[in-house]
Amino acid sequence: MAKNTINSTSILTNRFRHQVLATLTVCILTFSHGIGLGWLSPTLSKLQSDTSPLEFPVTVEDASWIGSLLGLGSVCGNLAIGFLQNIIGRKACIYILAPPHICLWILIYFARNVEFLMIGRFLGGFAGGGCYVVFPLFISEIADTNIRGTLATMLMLSVNTGILIGFIVSTHVAYHIIPFCIVTLPMVYLILAFVLPETPQHLLRRKKYAEAENSFNFYQMCNSEIKQNTSNPAFDQLKSIIENRSDSGSVTYKDFLTKDALQCFATAAVLLFVNQFSGIFAFVNYMSDIFSNSGSSMDPNTCTIIMGVVQIAGTYAATLLVDIFGRKILMLWSTGGMAVGLAAFGVFTFYAQTMDLSQYSFVPLLLMSFVSFVGNMGLIALTFVVLVEIFPAKIRPICASASMAILSLLVFAMLKIFPLYMDSFGISTTMWSCALVCAVSYLYMLVFLKETKGKSMDSD
């Protein structure tokens, strides 16, 4: 989007109204996706108990498939939407994501055997994987540079809020009531998304100039005087940039071998690796085991709810700070803070094995809350933002899609490795290993990570 002449970073400015409303619309689906993530853990415990609300048994092996198929669906969603978004457009892809997510809740409600749940989780993963590809790109193209980071981080804020709501409702609400209520969210999303125009960039690539200008005026809230002019300088500049890029030809393998592109690949690889092998996502899935091995006497369900609140606080802090301080400083604070917090957690659990530290049982929760807060403020909230912004515009859609697919595979790998690693080497060594990953990543980002605050998404 053309750079705005207003220096305000407040999303409440009237000029940004349509950009904010568009972001809130797509966040409905990410919020519902988050509920689906948080729904799983307490629900699996119910389904494997003697008081299961369903008429068929769910074995441990079934539960592992129900959990892991989300990752497989996510990879398929990453690749499919990444392939389609430049062919059929961002808006069409935004629409495509709703039906599989609706099917997730329908299959959960009408489940007659475990295959219903497996297929539903796969479809839920497909929708979620597609969200992580097209939504950041959609927002980057419609958002003003002054608020792009804030709007993009709202995606993860909605996911984390959904995770917390999902955990709470699946713990305290009857099984069949949840899908009956939540399925309305993607339906409302479909209705609201209908009024959103396609991004002006995609329309310009399709040479639909009148539609592109209308879209540009919609998202930029251009006043009536500008609309009546025969020429809109900001739109003309965007049009010239897109046409010049089109004249340079289609994407070839040489575009991926430039010095700038190769450095972006190295940075992306580090971001993807630390995003998962810092343990920040695995901690959420195995929080009960972590606290039971840490010496804490607090109730695991209570700790999980607290961690959910901390996650939201971290991502909300990112929305407030990202367009003020920039991406790099928040990523450094995140990786550096996690390295210190995880190292301290490892030290506490190491001495807890040989010393009586029961009077300090609050320390594991305090340390893990700190780790979760700084992790969500940087690694969780900003990874998708930075991955979209660092790549050259010509290869951005392809690289963003490939990055999300790789991230989904790393999610699967880390969730498989983490419990085995902790069982083999102990919780202290596990935390120290994650701290080492964060420390090395901190050093890399300190030297090589480029600040992308205010970067044009069109002219690079």
Q: Does the pLDDT of residue 5 top 80, yes or no?
A: no
For the stretch 406-454, pLDDT in tens is: 888 888 788 778 878 888 898 899 999 999 999 999 999 999 998 888 7
Residue 359: predicted pLDDT? 75
Distance from C-alpha of 388 to C-alpha of 83, rounded to nearest angstrom = 16
Residue 231: predicted pLDDT? 65
Residue 33: predicted pLDDT? 95
3-state secondary structure (DSSP) of residue 250: coil
Q: Does the pLDDT of residue 131 top 50, yes or no?
A: yes
SS3 of 344-387: HHHHHHHHHCCCCCHHHCHHHHHHHHHHHHHHHHHHHHHHHHHH
3-state secondary structure (DSSP) of residue 392: coil
For residues 199-214, average pLDDT = 91
Q: Does the pLDDT of residue 225 top 70, yes or no?
A: no
State the burial class of residue 314 (Cβ atoms within 10 Å of its Cβ: 0-12, 13-18, 19+): buried
Distance from C-alpha of 246 to C-alpha of 239, rounded to nearest angstrom = 11
Cα atoms in the Cβ-side hemisphere of radius 13 Å centred on 138: 29
DSSP for 128-174 reads: HHHHHHHHHHHHHHHS-TTTHHHHHHHHHHHHHHHHHHHHHHHHHS-
Band of pLDDT at residue 135, cut at 50, 70 and 90: very high
- The token duo for 11 is 């999303």
Distance from C-alpha of 334 to C-alpha of 326, rounded to nearest angstrom = 13
For residues 286-305, average pLDDT = 70
Closest to 126 (Cα-Cα) out of 406, 405, 387: 405
DSSP for 90-125 reads: HHHHHHHTHHHHHHHHHHHHT--SHHHHHHHHHHHH
Distance from C-alpha of 300 to C-alpha of 17, rounded to nearest angstrom = 41
Tokens 């300090």 belong to which residue? 360
Distance from C-alpha of 257 to C-alpha of 392, rounded to nearest angstrom = 12
Cα atoms in the Cβ-side hemisphere of radius 13 Å centred on 438: 27
For the stretch 319-356, pLDDT in tens is: 889 888 989 999 999 999 999 999 999 999 888 877 77
- The token duo for 108 is 């959960």
Mean pLDDT score of the chain: 85
pTM reported for the whole predicted model: 0.81
Band of pLDDT at residue 296, cut at 50, 70 and 90: low
Closest to 434 (Cα-Cα) out of 278, 270, 286: 278
Tokens 């930029």 belong to which residue? 220
Distance from C-alpha of 219 to C-alpha of 44, rounded to nearest angstrom = 43
For the stretch 22-37, pLDDT in tens is: 999 999 999 999 999 8
Distance from C-alpha of 65 to C-alpha of 259, rounded to nearest angstrom = 42
Residue 224: predicted pLDDT? 43
Q: Which residue has the higher pLDDT, 241 or 457?
A: 241
Q: Which residue has the higher pLDDT, 281 or 390?
A: 390
Distance from C-alpha of 457 to C-alpha of 460, rounded to nearest angstrom = 7
Provide the H-helix boundaries in 229-299.
233-247, 259-277, 280-285, 287-294
- On whether the CB atoms of residues 454 and 5 are closer than 8 A, the answer is no
Q: Does the pLDDT of residue 301 top 80, yes or no?
A: no
- On whether the CB atoms of residues 376 and 160 are closer than 8 A, the answer is yes
- On whether the CB atoms of residues 126 and 77 are closer than 8 A, the answer is yes
- The token duo for 46 is 């119910």
Residue 246: predicted pLDDT? 64
Residue 6: predicted pLDDT? 42
Closest to 386 (Cα-Cα) out of 371, 401, 400: 400
Polymer length in residues for the chain: 460
DSSP conformation class of 300: H
Tokens 């007659």 belong to which residue? 112
C-alpha R_g of the chain = 23
Cα atoms in the Cβ-side hemisphere of radius 13 Å centred on 322: 34
Which distant-in-sequence residues (6+ apart) come within 8 Å of 115 by Cβ?
A: none
For the stretch 61-76, pLDDT in tens is: 787 788 778 888 988 9
State the burial class of residue 15 (Cβ atoms within 10 Å of its Cβ: 0-12, 13-18, 19+): middle
Provide the H-helix boundaries in 6-49.
17-47
- The token duo for 48 is 């494997």
Sign of CA dihedral 155, 157, 161, 163: positive
